[in-house]
Chains A and B, each alone.
Chain A
Amino acid sequence: MSVAAANELLTATSPPGTAAVRVAGVTKTYGTGDSRTVALKAVEFEARPGELHLVIGPSGCGKTTLLSVVAGTLAWDSGEIEVLGTRLNGMKDSALAAFRGRHIGFIFQQFNLIPTLDLVENVSVPLLLNGVRRAVAERRAAEVLARVGLAEKARRRPKDLSGGQQQRVAIARALVHEPRLIICDEPTSALDSRTGHTIMELLADIARTPGRCVILVTHDPRTYGFASRITEMEDGRVRQEFSGQAIQDFIATHH
């Protein structure tokens, strides 16, 4: 892929829509017979551009399953899912993979950096998956690493970094191809409170980019204060959704 084409990919926008993510009546079950578990029960969920949207709730409430189906990494039983204006229902695996590769950035709980690759190589992966040439991808990866404050460690391996630094690398990897949706799974759970705070500041800053939406699944009450909107789940359903002052009230009441 040429430099011009790579730039076009990086600045490409998805079809416009009022919601970045719309989930309507989605049900997901695991197992069969006696071991059958309903993880999502006709869930309704919406996330808007420009928001840092937290999904919270106790273990087993369906947060991660919701995240997985929104990301198109897990098949669901019924209901409608629309991401960045694209309906995911009926899409083939290869089309879903291509869609994820172009429009979604991922930040995982365990970072999932490839230990044998250096930071630039790790961060360049999403671009390479989109067909960007190696030299262009690595140059772009180095730029994004600099943005998260890791320019000097660009050729180090993940094992040489602290947990917080590794998560910043993961954030750089999630941002490098300029996706409009970023999905984060417990990004602070493996970090101490100070590092977690720094990471949340970074994510909140990313979410303020026009047209970008960050959905974050978390158990960590220290992250609630950064949210634009919070969806609380319980037993496979959305229990409540709130924003603005209601978030502060929720923090004050519950924690």
Chain B
Amino acid sequence: MYHLALKMLIADRAKYAMLVGGVAFASLLMTQQNGVFRGLLAWTTSHMRNMRASIWVVEKNVEQVNETKALRDTDVNRVRSVSGVDFAVPLYISVQKARAADGSDKPIQLVGLHGATLVGRPPDVVRGDLEDLRLPNAVFIDELAVQRLSIGRPRPLDIGDTFEINDREARVVGICRTERQFFGYPYVFTTYDQALQYAPRQRKMLSMILAEPKPGLTAEAVARTIEAETGLRAMTVPEFSVATVAFIWRNTGIPASFMTTIILGFIVGIAVSAQTFYSFVLENLRNLGALKAMGATNGLLARLLLLQALTVGLVGYGIGVGLTAMFGFAVLPIGQPPFILDYTSLTITGTAVLLICCIAALLGILKISRLEAAIVFRA
């Protein structure tokens, strides 16, 4: 009977298309919005992937990685003196202005690395030698900076070219590839001392301290020791990521906005699929009654309806996820909007689609279970 149930479903092309379309639209909306949301959340923690360090030490009131409250220069030595710390280096990070060739000012994410060790260096160097960062006025810029700061130039910014940061000359010695950050500013890396030259002078300039635990010790344990001994806040990468994402959830409307769209997708999926499926059942009520008269049990009819609903779900989910993947392939080379489609998103959406199908089938099953086979004897 199962093959006949599928034939009954597919042969009614208009209804089948509407059912599959509803589920596909819901799947597309849920996976695409979830993908962009996950991408945005990933952008909020991109500093930690662009400047890799096991322990991030910040002022005790800092809540997330994109926030800085200046530390005292002596705090670096305080952290270095904590037992279990292998090494600790200063990091300067702030948003500054760079001038493009056309005279316009562009915001940049200026990062000052410890000059001796270059700890926090960008992970993916495209061109140039990081050692050249120690040269006067030397900067490494990322590909986004090349794009943004090349406006008004006959050719894109490259090694040897110069531009201004806060009216001071910066010479490009290398180009790197970074993961985009939440605010969309391009990264400009230089040494810590050079960064202090570019940035306006303030009483305290140290933004963060990057540290590593001694071999054999865990980052978590050492972070707790730093906190206990210095009164600063020390977090591992997972801890800082969670704190950052939690901050975004608490303080911005972004999650609520995306969640609303995702929930709307789910509701639209249920509304379209359940209503269409229910009307499909209603239209076939006499035929289903005839099947019941001929000996089909409620259990068998329920299984047939479930098979039809799950088939619709599977096809609709496939189309929806396929469209989302196409969206991903289209936007990933451009770099925005951010997009992450992993098995978690697929599993969550798949579960939601399964739920949509079960609800749609359940309405039909309830109708059929209450259906008297004698309906077929009534004119």
Contacts and interface: CB of A to CB of B under 8 A. Distances in A.
B1 A129 contact: yes
A186 B379 contact: yes
Interface string B33-48: 0000000000000000
Interface in B349-379: 372-374, 376-379
B241 to A, nearest CB: 54
Contacts of A116: 7-8, 11-12
Residues of A contacting B: mostly: helix
Interface stretch (A101-109, A143-151, A224-232, A235-243): A101-109
Contacts, number: 88
A166 interface: no
Size band of the interface chain B makes with A: 20 to 34
Nearest to A98: B295
Given A116-B8, A117-B4, A121-B7, A126 B295 contact: yes
A71 B377 CA distance: 11
A74 B375 CA distance: 9
Contacts of A51: none
A220 interface: no
B17 to A, nearest CB: 15
A81 interface: no
A73 B296 contact: no
A68 B3 CA distance: 29
Contacts of A128: 1, 4
B293 interface: yes
A130 B295 contact: yes
A94 B373 contact: no
A110 interface: yes
Interface residues of A, number: 31
B257 interface: no
B294 A106 contact: yes
Name, among A125, A185, A186, the residue most crowded by chain B CB atoms within 10 Å (CB to CB): A125
A16 to B, nearest CB: 22
A137 to B, nearest CB: 10
Contacts of A125: 1, 4, 291, 294
A254 B379 CA distance: 25
A43 B294 CA distance: 25
Contacts of B290: 106, 108, 112
A114 B284 CA distance: 8
Interface string B254-281: 0000000000000000000000000000
Interface in B279-326: 284, 286-287, 289-300
B293 A100 contact: yes
A185 B7 contact: no
* B interface SS class: helix
Given A64-B377, A68-B377, A106 B293 contact: yes
A110 B377 CA distance: 9
Contacts of B295: 97-102, 126, 129-130
A102 B295 CA distance: 8
Nearest to A122: B4
A40 to B, nearest CB: 13
A87 interface: no
A134 interface: yes
B7 A73 contact: no
A93 B298 contact: yes
A67 interface: yes
A110 B294 contact: no
Given A116-B11, A128-B1, A97 B377 contact: no
A93 B297 contact: yes
A94 B3 contact: no
B19 to A, nearest CB: 15
Interface of A: 64, 67-68, 71, 73-74, 93-94, 97-102, 106, 108-110, 112, 114, 116-117, 121, 125-126, 128-130, 134, 185-186
29 contacts: A68-B377, A71-B293, A71-B373, A71-B377, A93-B298, A94-B299, A97-B296, A98-B295, A101-B294, A101-B295, A101-B296, A106-B293, A108-B290, A109-B379, A110-B379, A112-B286, A112-B289, A114-B4, A116-B11, A116-B12, A117-B4, A125-B291, A126-B295, A128-B1, A129-B294, A129-B295, A185-B376, A185-B377, A186-B379
Given A68-B377, A73-B374, A114-B284, 6 more contacts: A93-B298, A97-B292, A112-B289, A116-B7, A126-B295, A129-B1
Interface of B: 1, 3-4, 7-8, 11-12, 284, 286-287, 289-300, 372-374, 376-379
Pairs of residues from A and B, 4 with the lowest C-beta to C-beta distance, nearest first: A101-B295, A116-B11, A73-B373, A112-B290
